[in-house]
Amino acid sequence: MAPQGNSGLRVAVLPGGCSGFQHGLNVEEEPEADDDIIEVDGVKVFVDPFSAQYLEGVEIDCVTSMMGQGFTFRNPSSSGGCGCGSSFTV
């Protein structure tokens, strides 16, 4: 992702899914006023205050397998998840 202006990657924890929470990724043009802004390998990462409490120590990786390509989250705040792997509990 080539940085352009004040754009960045939003990493969020959203209510939903069968276990209670889901991780979210989205490219955004600029941060919200109350976002934490972290720079990782030249990419700005935006995190809102609600999500920040659940993202301490999270590792995000891009993986390719026979099932497809996508992002995985290793979140130490997670205490469990659903069978399909799309949501987690804390």
0.85 exceeded by pTM: no
Q: Residue 33: what pLDDT?
A: 96
- CATH code given to domain 8-76: 2.60.300.12
Instruction: Residue 75: count other Cβ atoms within 10 Å of its Cβ.
Output: 20
The whole-number average pLDDT for the span 66-72 is 83
Q: Where is pLDDT greater, at 83 or 59?
A: 59
- Is residue 82's pLDDT more than 60? no
Domain map (residue ranges) of the chain: 8-76
Cα first-last separation, the chain: 30
Give dist(CA 6, CA 46) in Å, integer: 11
Give dist(CA 55, CA 23) in Å, integer: 9
The whole-number average pLDDT for the span 67-80 is 77
Residue-wise pLDDT for 1-55, tens only, equals 555 678 999 999 888 766 678 888 999 999 999 999 999 888 899 999 999 988 8
